[in-house]
Chain A
Amino acid sequence: DAGVIQSPRHEVTEMGQEVTLRCKPISGHDYLFWYRQTMMRGLELLIYFNNNVPIDDSGMPEDRFSAKMPNASFSTLKIQPSEPRDSAVYFCASSLGPSGTYNEQFFGPGTRLTVL
């Protein structure tokens, strides 16, 4: 298996533009997570899905952020409009089952977003 796949790996955009990050989880994994990592705030969970349904989006910073999972093999995280403070590395991760029942998460390589 190729692992969790994210695209693009790097994204540079200007303030106000729409940004779409993409993720393909490991086949057969029922859980998908989106994280954001910055030096100041560390690793933050933004949202996670179970069987394509959003379960907890309490970490989504504001209405400018939205995430979808139209099918089991694809998810997007969209920022519209983007702001410089959104600059971070965004990770997608997936797991076979819930963390509460001893399942590890598998992380993608991340997308480094820079908003100018």
Chain B
Amino acid sequence: ETGVTQTPRHLVMGMTNKKSLKCEQHLGHNAMYWYKQSAKKPLELMFVYNFKEQTENNSVPSRFSPECPNSSHLFLHLHTLQPEDSALYLCASSQDVGGRTGELFFGEGSRLTVL
């Protein structure tokens, strides 16, 4: 499969649960991103990875824990979340960080609901 793939597409979890979101890209890109998309807010950049190394943590609470084992895979581990963390979590990739062309390729997102 080509492009950026995210699983699961939908996730419902309680505040005490631990779950993970997965992102995989088959584009040969070096940079991967997690964005949060909430209603009535801009897309919020959460984390940036370049060649598996985290280059940006945009003041994200520690209950969100990213993991990038290689340039093709990115995880977002979730634990003790709050209802206000309910949102669409988008993964994206680009050839390089900042994207010399500014083009990010997005996945379809994982819709998270925290009860």
Q: Are A and B subunits of one complex?
A: no
Q: Which residues on B are within 8 Å of A, measured CB to CB? A: none
